[in-house]
Chains A and B, each alone.
Chain A
């Protein structure tokens, strides 16, 4: 009989330190991992039959997203999107997309295990991110629903402006580095020596 498996998120070991930063920052910054989100990498023709399968118009404007129910669809490229849903939704979402494709060439790949997610919020979060990211995250150029693939503290990330703050998708192998960097970069708001 198979042993029951236990999932461990890439930042399970950093949860205490992220919580300490949140406590010590006194509301200026809050940070925590949001583990196990469903992520599907979707490649198709946005004018084809499968494009409507999620009940949302796929965003074709660079660095924007669209939302339908509990699913966000992030623009990654002119024929590529990241479909983000709650944990455990991969089969449901792939089951909507694949049959709708018919004979169309479509790629739907479950990449949920590739990246974990950090939610950062608070009034100083843009100041914190600016220490390691060259993108202008001011609301005048990066509003709710906007997303960008870029580098944060030299780590490749997807930054997603999603209330109440920023969701940061980071590869599992870069997650510990990014958590270390975030804790260190928060010192001026927490006073915790590193």
Chain B
């Protein structure tokens, strides 16, 4: 079980959270101008690093707020929050 630091509530069990994937994925400025391939890349293609990864989490069983943290995908250590 990971302890995840909610910026509002403090450290809580992983079971209280939902994972939101990579952080910093910007919505396309003009979605209609994208080709199917570009749209698919926006929707589905993400980095999959071995090491620190900036990602979104939601404290769904607590305050229900979204926040960003950096987790090491090898050790599960939260390296920045």
Check B65 for interface membership: any CB of A closer than 8 A.
yes
A140-156 toward B: CB 8 Å interface, digit per residue (1/0)?
Answer: 00000000111100001
Question: Could you say which of B8, B9, B16 contacts A151, with CB atoms under 8 Å apart?
Answer: B16
Q: Which of B1-21 contact A (CB under 8 A)?
A: 8-10, 12-13, 15-16
**Cβ-defined contact, A77 with B61, below 8 A:** no
**Cβ-defined contact, A78 with B9, below 8 A:** no
From known contacts A62-B9, A63-B9, infer whether A150 and B65 are also in contact, taking CB-CB under 8 Å. no
Kindly state the interface size class of chain A when it binds its partner. 10 to 19
From known contacts A134-B13, A150-B16, infer whether A78 and B8 are also in contact, taking CB-CB under 8 Å. yes
Residues of A within 8 A of B9 (CB): 62-63, 148-149
Q: List 15 A-B contacts (CB under 8 A).
A: A62-B8, A76-B63, A77-B64, A78-B8, A78-B65, A134-B13, A148-B9, A149-B9, A149-B61, A149-B62, A149-B63, A150-B12, A150-B16, A150-B61, A150-B62
**Cβ-defined contact, A62 with B63, below 8 A:** yes
From known contacts A77-B65, A150-B61, infer whether A62 and B16 are also in contact, taking CB-CB under 8 Å. no
Closest to A149 in B: B62
Closest to A79 in B: B65
From known contacts A134-B13, A150-B16, A151-B16, infer whether A156 and B61 are also in contact, taking CB-CB under 8 Å. yes
Closest to A156 in B: B61
Residues of B within 8 A of A63 (CB): 9
Report the minimal beta-carbon distance from B62 to chain A, rounded to whole angstroms: 5
Residues of A within 8 A of B65 (CB): 77-78
Complex CA–CA separation, A62 to B61 (angstroms): 15
Residues of A within 8 A of B10 (CB): 62
